[in-house]
Amino acid sequence: MKIRETPIQDLLILEPKIFKDPRGYFFEIYNQKTFSPLGLDLQYVQDNESFSNYGTLRGLHFQKGAYAQAKLVRAVQGEIWDVAVDLRATSPTFGKSFGTRLSSENKNQFFIPRGFAHGFVVLSESALVCYKCDNFYSPENEGGIHFADPDLAVDWIIKPEEIVVSDKDRENPSFRSIREQL
């Protein structure tokens, strides 16, 4: 497995070694022996899956305090633009975002540690996204930031008029209004 660092500390792109032959392909999604020496030896307790159509934007979501989650995200089918925003108040990249393309073609995974908001937009006709979490979802400790927050200026790759978002995500607060609570 090849590990690519990003401009934001601890945010990683994982490129699996893919074994192909005339029958198809094989690769490891997760192997504790591989991840442990990288400091990614987490106990994953929840796997999530979502199916979405083109332009669907899910995010920016996070879990607060002791309920924060590290995530290992991948696109099983289709293609997404996956984004993480650093919410670690003491980080030199606090409030900065990083995005990467995840697809069924490149088979990359995005490791997002605790202390980040996460979201993605579907770039293909549809996408099936799976992610492992190291902490259970807690509705009472869920937080969100508006996907089009001007202070974050996240580039979602597609035209704003093509974005489809839930009412809940459309009503998320601004980064500025919650940053003191982080």
pTM of the model: 0.94
Domains observed in the chain: 43-181 (2.60.120.10)
> Rounded to a whole number, what is the largest CA-CA distance in the chain?
55
What pLDDT, on the 0 to 100 scale, is given for residue 35? Answer: 83
pLDDT digits (tens, 9 = 90+) for 106-132: 999 999 999 999 999 999 999 999 999
Say whether pLDDT at 155 is over 80. yes
Say whether pLDDT at 37 is over 90. no
Closest by alpha carbon to 89, among 178, 171, 12, 7?
178
131 part of the active site? yes
In the three-class reduction of DSSP (H, G, I as helix; E, B as strand; rest coil), residue 170 is classed as: helix
**Other beta carbons less than 10 A from residue 134's beta carbon:** 17
Say whether pLDDT at 41 is over 80. no
**Of these residues, 25, 30, 118, 131, which one is catalytic?**
131
What pLDDT, on the 0 to 100 scale, is given for residue 161? Answer: 96
Say whether pLDDT at 1 is over 90. no
Burial of 41 (C-beta count, 10 Å sphere; 0-12/13-18/19+): exposed
What pLDDT, on the 0 to 100 scale, is given for residue 81? Answer: 98
What pLDDT, on the 0 to 100 scale, is given for residue 145? Answer: 98
> Are the CB atoms for 128 and 32 separated by under 8 Å?
no
Please provide the DSSP assignment of 86-127 as one string. E--TTSTTTT-EEEEEEETTT--EEEE-SSEEEEEEE-SSEE
> Measured between alpha carbons, how far is 175 from 64 in angstroms, rounded to an integer?
14
What pLDDT, on the 0 to 100 scale, is given for residue 132? Answer: 95
Band (179; pLDDT cuts 50, 70, 90): confident
**Of these residues, 30, 61, 67, 118, which one is catalytic?**
61
Closest by alpha carbon to 180, among 95, 85, 61?
95
61 part of the active site? yes
The mean pLDDT of the chain is: 95
> Measured between alpha carbons, how far is 54 from 92 in angstroms, rounded to an integer?
34
